[in-house]
Amino acid sequence: MYITSPSPPSLLLLTGKTLGSLGPFMTLAHDKASLRSWYQLKDAILEGGIPFNRAHGKHLFEYSDMNPSFNNLFTATMTNHATIIMNKIVESYHRHHVHFAFQKDPSSQPAFLNELATPIIGLVREMASGLVRIALKCDKDKESEKKSLRLLQESVWRTYCNGKKCGFATIRECGAKDWEILKAVEPISMGAGVLPVSNNSDGGDGEEQRRSAVMHGEKPQEGAEEDSRV
């Protein structure tokens, strides 16, 4: 008698798994809208631009807004992809905290960079639901604390993750390592992953030497100028 079961990599192709599935990604890759982009790859390399934009005459997010079925498939793909990344890779950074950055455009210095009280392991647990919403509230409840400061000059922010209070976030300066990470993900419009260790990294154990895990989200909208990176 033989008992067979899918291998660990094959399990990622099944749907309905709490660790995420690559099924939606495979479906998206074979969608007609995605396949049309490949015909523009050569011209995009030689002349510049993004293959999808050249094929459809609009940004991916604009196309998604106009095509509900493609939007649902794209959302499922990104949700499962982020879940796999968070559970398999980012979870190893459990001792670290989340850093949140806002940029006017990917090449500009962050207008706002803070460190959340939420540890990485807490963010991983929230990712199990498939969606994470992080909200920051300026802590000015008391009349005596209302100072004449610009919004981005406030140093302490109350943090909410999926509607639950999770401590305070503090503003920090963008250091050389922070800027190096932001420059590394500058050409990426959306995704999650881990940057490799730098060759000139100094000291520290294996976990400390690995470069930060990065999630990046950007959805251009008319009138919107902010680009957020975690």
Instruction: Say yes or no to pLDDT of 172 above 50.
Output: yes
Instruction: Say yes or no to pLDDT of 110 above 60.
Output: yes
Number of domains in the chain: 2
- 229's enclosing H/E stretch is strand 227-229
- The answer as to whether 1 is a domain residue is no
Instruction: Say yes or no to pLDDT of 209 above 80.
Output: no
Residues 69 and 131 in one domain: no
Residue 118 to residue 120: CA distance in whole angstroms: 7
Residues 222 and 114 in one domain: yes
Domain end among 88, 115, 138: 88
The mean-pLDDT minimum among 163-167, 172-176, 198-202 falls in: 198-202
- The answer as to whether 3 is a domain residue is no
- The answer as to whether 170 is a domain residue is yes
Condensed to tens digits (0 to 9), the pLDDT of residues 41-100 reads: 999 899 988 899 999 999 888 898 899 999 888 888 887 777 776 666 655 555 677 788
Residues 111 and 72 in one domain: no
Percentage of the chain surpassing pLDDT 70? 59
- The answer as to whether 4 is a domain residue is no
Model pLDDT, residue 190: 64
Phi, psi of 69 (to 5 degrees): -65, -40
Residue 167 to residue 96: CA distance in whole angstroms: 15
15 versus 2: which is more confidently predicted?
A: 15
- The answer as to whether 112 is a domain residue is yes
Condensed to tens digits (0 to 9), the pLDDT of residues 79-94 reads: 777 777 666 665 555 5
Most confident of 31-35, 102-106, 161-165, 191-195: 31-35
Q: How far is CA 37 from CA 28, 58, 59, 220, in A?
A: 12, 12, 12, 20
Residues 58 and 102 in one domain: no
Condensed to tens digits (0 to 9), the pLDDT of residues 125-164 reads: 776 666 678 888 886 655 555 566 677 777 788 888 888 8
172 versus 226: which is more confidently predicted?
A: 172
Q: Rounded mean pLDDT of the chain?
A: 72
Model pLDDT, residue 90: 59
Residues 74 and 111 in one domain: no
Residues 49 and 110 in one domain: no
- What's the gap between Cα 141 and its chain centre? 31
The mean-pLDDT minimum among 67-71, 170-174, 186-190 falls in: 186-190
- 113's enclosing H/E stretch is strand 112-119
The boundaries of the domain holding residue 57 are 9-88
- The answer as to whether 2 is a domain residue is no
